Amino acid sequence: MNVALAAPAAKAAAPAPAPTATAAAAPTLSAEDKAASGKTYFERCAGCHGMLRKGATGKNLEPANTAKLGSSRLEKIMAYGTEGGMPNFDDILSKKEIANMAAYLQMPAEAPPEWSLADIKGSWKLLVPVDQRPTRQMNNVNLKNVFSVTLRDSGEVALIDGDTKEIWAVIKTGYAVHISRMSTSGRYVHVIGRDGRYDLIDLWFEKPTTVATLKAGFEARSIETSKFKGYEDKYAVVGSYWPPQYTILDGLTLEPLKNVSTRGNTVDGVYHPEPRVASIVASEHKPEWVVNVKETGMIKLVDYSDLANLKEVTIDSAKFLHDGGWDSTKRYFLVAANASNKIAVVDTKTAKLEALVDTAKIPHPGRGANFVHPKYGRVWATSHLGADVISIIGTDPAGKKEYAWKVVQELKNHGANSLFVKTHPKSGNLWADAPLNPDPKLAGSVSVYRIADLGNPDAKPEVLDLAAAANLGKTKGIQRVVHGEYNEKGDEIWFSVWTGNKTEPSAIVVVDDKTRTVKKVIKDPRLVTPTGKFNVYNTMHDIY
Ligand code: DHE
C-alpha cells in the first residue's frame, strides 16, 4: 500500500508555544513509536479529526483538550468507541498501539507540507495518450453494469462484472480509495485514494487500464467530472483535505489546469487553516460543480465554463459540511452539516441557500436516497452516525410546499453509527446500514423498509443479518456491513462485508431486492476489505 506516500514528513504547525504546565506534563514517545502513531493517525483518525486535530466530524484533539482527558480515558474512548459516533478500534489496533496513540494525541499536532499546482504537475503521468487509446470498446463486458469496488486496505479497486459477478480486473490505486466517479460517457472511471493519488481508468481496453495518474495532495476524499452538455468528459475536479484546495484537471488526460485554495474564514467569521474539501457533485443543468468546504461551512458553486476567469458563488450554510446528494430533480443539493445536526439545501437554479433543515444527531447520507413517499410526495432520506433513525425530508416545494425542507418522518434504524441509505427508482425498498456500531450484531445487519408502507406510522423494517449470510467464520475484526449499491437494472442491491483488517476474509453480498434474499456471496482472496461500490450506470446518472 502507498502509505509511505500518504504520510508525508511532518513539520511543526506553528512556532512552539511557551511551555505550560500541561505541555510540560505531556507524555513522550520514541521516534519510532511516534512515526508509527502518526501513520495510524493519518490512516484512521485524520479524516474525522483533521490533520491539525482541530476537529470536525470528530472532536478537537489538540493537547489543550486531550491532556484534560488523560491517557486512560483516551484509551477507553479509542478501544470501545462512543455513542456520539466514534467507532471502536479494539478490533483493529493492539493495546500498545492504542496506548501510544493516547500519548501521541497529547503531543502538539504537526502540519504536513504544502502541495502546489507545480507539485501536482510534477507528479502527473500521462501513461497512455488519448491518440493511443482504443477507438471502440475492445471487450464484451456490459460496462453499464460494472461495479468499481474499493479494496480499502490493499490500495486497489476491483472492477466487477455485475452481470456475471466475476472480478474483471484488480487495479493498483492510491491507499483506501474513497470514491469512484464516472465520466459522463461511462467509459472512464475516476478514483481518488485517501493519500491523494488520483487514477483514471479506461474501460474500453480489453482489460481495464490506467491511462493517467497524479498526486493531488496528501489527503483527499472527493472527485467529480463535468456533466453539462458540451462539457462531457472534458474536465475533472479533485477536492483535497490536505492541503485544503480543489484542483481542476483535463478530463481525458488529468493534466492539472487550476488549483484553488479553500483556506479562509468560517461562517462564524473565524480564520481556519484547514477548511477541507468534502463532497463535490456536478450539475447537469449548468457548467457547474457544487464544492462543499467542511470547516468553513461554505458551499461553492464553481462555474467551469471559463477557467481563466473562474467564477465561484460562495453560499454560507453551517458546519461541518460532509457528504450529500441531489434531490430527484437535480435542482437542489442536500448536504450534511454534521456537527450542526442539519442538512443544508442549496437551490442551484437561483444559486442560493434554500433551507437549513434540523435533524437528529450527525446526519450521514452518503448521497442520500430519493423516492416518492405515499403521504409526503417526493422526499430524500439520510441516516445518522449519532442516532438510530432515518430522517425523511420533503423535497417538493412546488407540489407539497407544507412538507418541503422539513423532516416529515423519522424511521427507526436497527442501530446508530449508520453511514449510508440507498434506494433505486425501480425499487420499492429503502435500505440503511449501521457499520460503525460497536455491537457486532448491529454492525453486521441492515434495515429495509417497504416504501409503500411508510404512510403507516407503525411501519416496521425487516432487519437482515448479512454478515451471518456471508458465512465468513470467526474473525478478529467486526464484520461490518457497509454501503448498499444497486445494479444497473435496480433489482439487486450489493453490500460489502468489511472486516477492516486486510489479513482477514471479506465478501460482497448480493441481495435480490424483491425477495430480500441473498442471491450470491462474492468471496475471493483478491477481495481485500471491500467498502464503497460504484455501479457505472447509477453513478453516471446520479441514481440514488
Ligand atoms: Fe467516507 C463518501 C469523507 C470515513 C466510505 N466520505 C465520503 C465523502 C466524504 C467522505 C467527504 C463524500 C465524497 C463525495 O461525494 O464527493 N469518510 C470521510 C471522512 O472524512 C471520514 C469520516 C473519515 C476518514 O478518515 O475518511 C470517512 N468513509 C469513511 C469510512 O470509514 C468508510 C466506510 C471506508 C473508508 O474508505 O475509509 C468510508 N465515504 C465512503 C464511501 C463514500 C464516502 C463508500 C461514498 C458513498 C456514496 O455512495 O457516494
Question: Tens digits of per-residue pLDDT, 166-186?
Answer: 999 999 999 999 999 999 999
What DSSP string describes 9-73? Answer: PPEESSSPPPP-HHHHH-----HHHHHHHHHHIIIIIHHHH-TT---SSS---SHHHHHHHHHHH
- Is the four-CA dihedral 161, 164, 168, 170 of positive or negative sign? positive
pLDDT at 86: 87
In the structure grid, which three cell numbers stand for residue 90, read together?
Answer: 479494539
* Cβ of residue 390 lying under 6 Å from some atom of ligand 1: no
If you ran DSSP here, which 8-state letter would residue 404 be given?
A: B
Q: Give the Å distance between the CA of 542 and the centre of ligand 1.
A: 17
Please give the mean pLDDT across all residues of the chain.
Answer: 94
**What's the predicted TM-score (pTM) here?**
0.93
The neighbour count for residue 88, using CB atoms within 10 Å, is 20
pLDDT at 281: 98
- Which of ligand 1's atoms lies nearest the C-alpha of 87? 31
In this predicted structure, the answer to whether residue 7 has a pLDDT above a threshold of 80 is no
* Cβ of residue 532 lying under 6 Å from some atom of ligand 1: yes
- Reported as a pLDDT band with limits 50, 70 and 90, residue 26 is confident
pLDDT at 500: 83
In this predicted structure, the answer to whether residue 152 has a pLDDT above a threshold of 80 is yes
In the structure grid, which three cell numbers stand for residue 265, read together?
Answer: 474564514
- Which of ligand 1's atoms lies nearest the C-alpha of 46? 25
How far apart, in whole angstroms, are the C-alpha atoms of residue 293 and residue 277?
Answer: 5
Q: Which of 421, 420, 466 is nearest to 440 (CA)?
A: 466
Burial class, 96, CB count within 10 angstroms (exposed 0-12 / middle 13-18 / buried 19+): exposed
Percentage of residues in the chain having pLDDT higher than 70: 95
Q: Is 86 a catalytic residue?
A: yes
Residue with grid cell 444559486, as numbered in its chain: 351
Do residues 464 and 516 touch, judged by C-beta distance below 8 A? yes
Q: Kindly report the protein residue whose alpha carbon is nearest to atom 1 of ligand 1.
A: 178
Burial class, 11, CB count within 10 angstroms (exposed 0-12 / middle 13-18 / buried 19+): exposed
Q: Is 414 a catalytic residue?
A: no
- Which of ligand 1's atoms lies nearest the C-alpha of 482? 33
Q: Which of 341, 323, 349 is nearest to 407 (CA)?
A: 341
**Residue 333 forms beta bridges with which residues?**
326, 346
In this predicted structure, the answer to whether residue 17 has a pLDDT above a threshold of 50 is no
Radius of gyration of the chain (CA): 22
Do residues 129 and 218 touch, judged by C-beta distance below 8 A? no
